[in-house]
């Protein structure tokens, strides 16, 4: 027997802990419960009001054109300049001396403080330099940089002149980089000689050289000197310090159409080959800016914000560059890894800059928990007032660890669900409003029509599970997949009629709050029951010996699929013979016998994308003894060899 649609994507885990907003935060919150009412009474009016937070050179005539779905247009006829909104207007308002970026390099003592006025000057010079290199509005520029201020400067300079940027993680291989340059037919590449990773210079330029040789569209390569190591030089190469350093500081920002293409960004590739997601100007900036203001309750005069994402991930676009800077935030930007030179580096940075708002990912939180509570305990983290999470479902135990060990048991946690495709946050608690639940993203933000539906596209009742969809267009939605309208339609708009299919499973609890259950592609079908990978993983992580786990369904002759769990133990735990049985029984006790893993593999690491997401499809390939699918976005390919060897031994 198979489940009824309401039971699709099993709904097994119960979590009853609740945390009310601190009263002081609630009393001064930027956004109150009224916003939900306003938006439900007049959704387009609500987004117009959010758009008014920006500076428009020309007003829009129409808020939304949805006459040719799924191709949306927002703020039709409106014109604005994104860089002007992120920089000039703050300087013109007298805030030029405010720090925009406290940059912390990986080598200790390597730091820079950049004010809004200085950032504006750099962006104007870079805009002139790009223009001198022949870049005009509509051209594509690939950016392949480490986490240095020039990464933000490069993005904003492109935005300022209407060039569409295409940022690629500064760690991807020639295949991944050249593929993205070619797909976007980029005219210019902005890169660096290298960056620092784990205490050592790590070269970027050789990868660019090889990629450019495969990419006929590239005319010029602009190279930032970061590490000072020797680099090969071609006649396409231009030093940043020559071109930008020598450029004029005068540059007047010109307005672009609200639907002008702002950037292309490829998805993480967790489930499939990455897709080139296209975002445009007015709607994107409206929602990136509003959500940052609302969900982080940003007070630009007093907060110090830090988002630990890489600029090459959508979180870096919306919540390092466009959201915070459009709001005039002061933020920390860190170049390196969390364990260089020691495992307390993040907490040292929080203490040093008195960070108030921290935004990081579950993968990092689980790693910190694995390293031990004593490490953050050595630092003064009392400045923190809101903690954010993004990237994957956060296991309730990791959520509690984050709140207790980083947030002194007091700070609200905002678990923000969104995607490269959505451009900005879609489902999240509001820190001054929501009574939070560990592991749940909870409620669609004001103005967002998220729903959980069954196979037929009907909303599931409270207590039910199904597919996460978006029923109405939103300002920062992707406009298409670059160069492939048909893939855009097929991927997101074909499963259900007139709804955006996010590809994630979700359940709605008895209060109507939403819990994300992982990718629909990852859901396991065991003896006719749909079981979510996230729930089995959360059950494993709730065992005191487990730091992290990834669960997949592997073909099984008897049950259809069998649950195979890959588990990383906490730092101090020594495995003994009975451990895997103990863990299997723990899952059965938490979730019921149906969810008991067929096999548990103890592993040292899990395969992750560069943005830290677990790539379950590769583990499924291993568990089913297939050759691996697309691995271009994998962080460390040696991990797969280790896991495959362990799997063969365990056969």
* Number of shown-chain residues binding Mg ion (CB under 5 A): 1
Between 85 and 635, whose beta carbon lies closer to ligand ATP?
Answer: 635
Q: Which stretches of 432-495 are DSSP H helices? A: 485-492
Residue 548 interaction partner, one of Mg ion, ligand ATP, none, beta carbon < 5-8 Å per kind:
none
Q: Where does this chain touch ligand ATP (CB under 6 A) — which range of 55-63, 410-418, 443-451, 569-577?
A: 410-418
254 annotated as a binding-site residue? no
For ligand ATP, the binding residue among 318, 416, 442, 533 (CB under 6 A) is 416
420 annotated as a binding-site residue? yes
533 scored as a contact of ligand ATP (CB under 6 A): no
Single out the residue of 184, 201, 203 nearest to residue 193, CA to CA.
203
Instruction: For residues 65 and 175, give the distance between their C-alpha atoms in angstroms, rounded to a whole number.
Output: 38
146 scored as a contact of ligand ATP (CB under 6 A): no
Between 464 and 503, whose beta carbon lies closer to ligand ATP?
Answer: 503
> Is 25 exposed, middle or buried, given 0-12, 13-18 or 19+ CB atoms closer than 10 A?
middle
User: What residues from 299 to 318 belong to the interface with ligand ATP (CB under 6 A)?
Assistant: 314
Residue 504 interaction partner, one of ligand ATP, Mg ion, none, beta carbon < 5-8 Å per kind:
ligand ATP
For ligand ATP, the binding residue among 104, 257, 259, 415 (CB under 6 A) is 415
Between 7 and 522, whose beta carbon lies closer to ligand ATP?
Answer: 522
The DSSP result for 395-424, as a single string, is PHHHHHHHHHHTSTTTS-EEE-B--TTT-S
The Cα-based distances of 278 to 266, 422, 476 in angstroms read 9, 10, 10
Q: How far is the CB of 578 from ligand ATP (least distance, A)?
A: 33
Rounded to 5 degrees, what angle do the CA atoms 265, 329, 408 make? 100
User: What residues from 248 to 267 belong to the interface with ligand ATP (CB under 6 A)?
Assistant: 267
Cβ pair 396, 540 in contact under 8 A? no
Q: How far is the CB of 632 from ligand ATP (least distance, A)?
A: 11
- Residue 228, Cα to own-chain centre: how many angstroms? 31
- Residue 61, Cα to own-chain centre: how many angstroms? 32
Single out the residue of 558, 540, 557 nearest to residue 549, CA to CA.
540
Extended beta strands in 482-624, E state: 500-508, 514-519, 524-526, 529-531, 546-556, 560-569, 599-602
For ligand ATP, the binding residue among 21, 194, 393, 447 (CB under 6 A) is 393
Q: How far is the CB of 468 from ligand ATP (least distance, A)?
A: 8
251 annotated as a binding-site residue? no
Q: How far is the CB of 504 from Mg ion (least distance, A)?
A: 8
473 scored as a contact of ligand ATP (CB under 6 A): no
The Cα-based distances of 97 to 289, 312, 517, 618 in angstroms read 21, 28, 45, 49
Query: How many other C-beta atoms are found inside a 10 Å radius of the C-beta of residue 23?
Result: 8
Q: How far is the CB of 577 from ligand ATP (least distance, A)?
A: 35
Residue 170 interaction partner, one of ligand ATP, Mg ion, none, beta carbon < 5-8 Å per kind:
none
The radius of gyration of the chain from alpha carbons, rounded to an integer in Å, stands at 24
56 annotated as a binding-site residue? no
- How far the first Cα of the chain sits from its last, in Å, is 30
441 scored as a contact of ligand ATP (CB under 6 A): yes
Between 264 and 390, whose beta carbon lies closer to ligand ATP?
Answer: 390
Instruction: For residues 568 and 580, give the distance between their C-alpha atoms in angstroms, rounded to a whole number.
Output: 12
543 annotated as a binding-site residue? yes
For ligand ATP, the binding residue among 78, 179, 261, 274 (CB under 6 A) is 274
365 scored as a contact of ligand ATP (CB under 6 A): no
Q: Establish how many alpha carbons lie within 13 A of residue 161's alpha carbon, considering only the half-sphere containing its beta carbon.
A: 26
99-134 burial: b if 16+ Cβ within 10 Å, else e: bbbbbbbbbeeeeeebbbbbbbbbbbbbbbbbbebe
519 scored as a contact of ligand ATP (CB under 6 A): yes
Q: Where does this chain touch ligand ATP (CB under 6 A) — which range of 104-112, 268-276, 363-371, 372-380?
A: 268-276
Residue 393 interaction partner, one of Mg ion, ligand ATP, none, beta carbon < 5-8 Å per kind:
ligand ATP
| Region for residue 528 given its phi and psi (left: phi exceeds 0; alpha: psi -120 to 50; beta: otherwise) | left
The Cα-based distances of 388 to 263, 357, 613 in angstroms read 25, 8, 16
Instruction: For residues 180 and 277, give the distance between their C-alpha atoms in angstroms, rounded to a whole number.
Output: 11
291 scored as a contact of ligand ATP (CB under 6 A): no
Between 75 and 482, whose beta carbon lies closer to Mg ion?
Answer: 482
598 annotated as a binding-site residue? no
Place of tokens 């703050």: 90
Between 243 and 321, whose beta carbon lies closer to ligand ATP?
Answer: 321
Question: What are phi and psi for residue 98, nearest 5 degrees?
Answer: -65, 140
For ligand ATP, the binding residue among 370, 610, 613, 616 (CB under 6 A) is 613
Helix or strand (DSSP H, E) at 262:
strand 261-266
360 scored as a contact of ligand ATP (CB under 6 A): no
513 scored as a contact of ligand ATP (CB under 6 A): no
Between 267 and 609, whose beta carbon lies closer to Mg ion?
Answer: 267
For ligand ATP, the binding residue among 272, 377, 498, 589 (CB under 6 A) is 272
Sketch the per residue contact string, 239 through 278, with Mg ion: x for CB under 5 A, - otherwise.
----------------------------x-----------
Residue 221: strand pairing partners: 189, 237
Give the footprint of Mg ion on this chain (CB under 5 A): 267
Point out the annotated binding site for Mg(2+). 541, 543, 546
Binding region for ligand ATP (CB under 6 A) = 267-272, 274, 314, 390-393, 415-417, 419-420, 441, 502-504, 516, 519, 611, 613
Binding-site residue ranges for CoA: 197-200, 315, 527
């Amino acid at each position: 027997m198979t489940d009824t649609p309401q039971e699709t994507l099993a709904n097994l885990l119960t979590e009853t802990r609740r945390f009310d907003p601190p009263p002081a935060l609630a009393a001064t919150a930027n956004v109150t419960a009224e916003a939900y009412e306003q938006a439900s009474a007049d959704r387009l009016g609500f987004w117009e009001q959010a758009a008014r937070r920006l500076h428009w050179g020309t007003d829009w005539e129409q808020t939304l054109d949805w006459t040719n779905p799924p191709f949306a247009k927002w703020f039709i006829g409106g014109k604005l300049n994104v860089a002007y909104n992120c920089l000039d207007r703050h300087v013109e308002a007298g805030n030029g001396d405010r720090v925009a970026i406290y940059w912390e390099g990986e080598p200790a003592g390597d730091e820079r403080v950049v004010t809004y006025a200085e950032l504006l000057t750099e962006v104007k010079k870079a805009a002139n330099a790009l223009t001198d290199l022949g870049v005009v509005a509509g051209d594509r520029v690939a950016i392949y940089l480490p986490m240095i201020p020039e990464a933000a400067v490069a993005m904003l300079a492109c935005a300022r002149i209407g060039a569409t940027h295409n940022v690629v993680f500064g760690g991807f291989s020639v295949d991944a980089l050249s593929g993205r340059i070619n797909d976007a037919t980029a005219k210019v590449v902005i890169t660096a000689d290298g960056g620092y990773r784990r205490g050592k210079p790590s070269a970027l330029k050789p990868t660019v050289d090889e990629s450019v040789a495969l990419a006929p569209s590239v005319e010029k390569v602009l190279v930032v000197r970061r590490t000072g190591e020797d680099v090969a030089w071609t006649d396409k190469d231009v030093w940043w310090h020559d071109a930008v350093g020598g450029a004029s500081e005068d540059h007047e920002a010109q307005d672009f159409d609200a639907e002008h293409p702002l950037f292309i960004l490829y998805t993480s590739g967790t489930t499939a080959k990455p897709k080139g997601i296209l975002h445009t100007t007015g709607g994107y900036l409206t929602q990136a800016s509003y959500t940052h203001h609302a969900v982080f309750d940003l007070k630009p005069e007093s907060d110090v914000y830090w988002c630990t994402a890489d600029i090459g991930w959508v979180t870096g676009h919306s919540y390092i560059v466009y959201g915070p800077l459009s709001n005039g935030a002061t933020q920390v930007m860190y170049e390196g890894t969390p364990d260089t030179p020691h495992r307390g580096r993040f907490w040292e940075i929080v203490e040093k800059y008195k960070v108030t708002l921290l935004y990081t990912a579950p993968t990092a939180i689980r790693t910190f928990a694995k390293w031990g509570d004593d490490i953050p305990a050595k630092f003064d983290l009392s400045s923190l007032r809101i903690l954010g999470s993004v990237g994957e479902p956060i296991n309730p135990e990791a959520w509690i660890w984050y709140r207790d060990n980083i947030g002194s048991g007091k700070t609200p946690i905002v678990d923000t669900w969104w995607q490269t495709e959505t451009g900005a946050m879609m489902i999240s608690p509001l820190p001054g409003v929501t009574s939070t639940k560990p592991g749940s993203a909870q409620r669609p933000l004001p103005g967002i029509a998220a729903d959980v539906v069954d196979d037929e596209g009907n909303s599931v009742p409270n207590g039910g599970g199904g597919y996460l969809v978006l029923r109405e267009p939103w300002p920062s939605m992707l406009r298409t997949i670059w160069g492939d309208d048909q893939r855009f339609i097929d991927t997101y708009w074909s499963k259900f009629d007139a709804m955006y299919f996010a590809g994630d499973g979700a359940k709605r609890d008895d209060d109507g709050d939403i819990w994300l259950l992982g990718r629909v592609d990852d859901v396991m079908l065991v003896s006719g029951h749909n079981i979510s990978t996230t729930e089995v993983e959360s059950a494993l992580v709730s065992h005191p010996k487990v730091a992290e786990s990834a669960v997949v369904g592997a073909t099984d002759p008897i049950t259809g699929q069998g649950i195979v769990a890959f588990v990383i133990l906490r730092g101090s735990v020594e495995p003994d013979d009975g451990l895997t049985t103990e863990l299997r029984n723990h899952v059965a006790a938490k979730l019921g016998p149906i969810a008991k893993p067929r096999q548990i593999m103890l592993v040292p690491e899990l395969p992750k994308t560069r943005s830290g997401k677990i790539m379950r499809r590769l583990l499924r390939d291993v568990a089913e003894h297939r050759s691996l699918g697309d691995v271009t976005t994998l962080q460390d390919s040696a991990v797969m060899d280790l896991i495959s060897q362990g799997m063969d031994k365990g056969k």
